[in-house]
Amino acid sequence: MTTLNINGKDVQVDADPSTPILWALRDNLNMTGTKFGCGAALCGACTVHLNGQAIRSCVTPIAAAAGQKITTIEAMESDKIGKAVQDAWVRHDVPQCGYCQSGQVMSATALLKTNKNPSDADIDTAMSGNICRCGTYQRIRAAIKDAAKTLA
């Protein structure tokens, strides 16, 4: 058993310590907001926060997260910055298919927690590991800037 702190609550996960966080969330805890995309940390669909940093949960084992704080998309509704990002996503019609959006929102939220007024280059750097197959990158950038303005 591994104890994980997920969205502020300690939970027991009965899985091999090498199990990626993604599968512990989805298979053991039935938290399906975090998506599987590539399994190789290349697409960003599986992004969660580990102690406030955006990480790829598909390659991070639960053993590496024990005793640390994991935050998932399910907690963004009650997070001031996460909620601002989600609201901006809606205002700018960012999602098309929606598959990558939880990872996109998590990366954008991590950015705005450390940089309250990101430039285009800052946004591009922070979001470079998140792939949107629908190509809504301009709307993503606009939504991040909008969220930053609403938080100022």
Tell me: do 60 and 89 sit in the same domain.
no
Provide the pLDDT for residue 98: 87
* Total count of domains within the chain: 2
Q: How far is CA 54 from the centre of its chain?
A: 6
Tell me: do 140 and 88 sit in the same domain.
yes
Looking at residue 20, which CATH number applies to its domain? 3.10.20.30
Looking at residue 107, which CATH number applies to its domain? 1.10.150.120
Mean pLDDT, consecutive 10-residue stretches, the chain (152 aa), reads: 96 96 97 96 97 97 96 96 97 92 97 97 95 94 98 93
- Cα(104)–Cα(11) distance, integer angstroms: 25
Tell me: do 66 and 82 sit in the same domain.
no
For residue 96, what are the domain limits?
75-151
- pTM exceeds cut of 0.85: yes
Which one of 74, 93, 111 terminates a domain?
74
Sign of torsion over alpha carbons 127, 131, 135, 139: negative
Tell me: do 134 and 116 sit in the same domain.
yes
Provide the pLDDT for residue 105: 98
**How many helices (H) and strands (E) in the chain?**
6, 5
Which one of 74, 91, 121 terminates a domain?
74
Tell me: do 146 and 87 sit in the same domain.
yes
Q: What is the SS3 assignment for 112?
A: helix
Which of left, alpha, beta for 3 (phi over 0: left; psi -120 to 50: alpha)? beta
Which one of 59, 74, 89 terminates a domain?
74
Tell me: do 37 and 90 sit in the same domain.
no
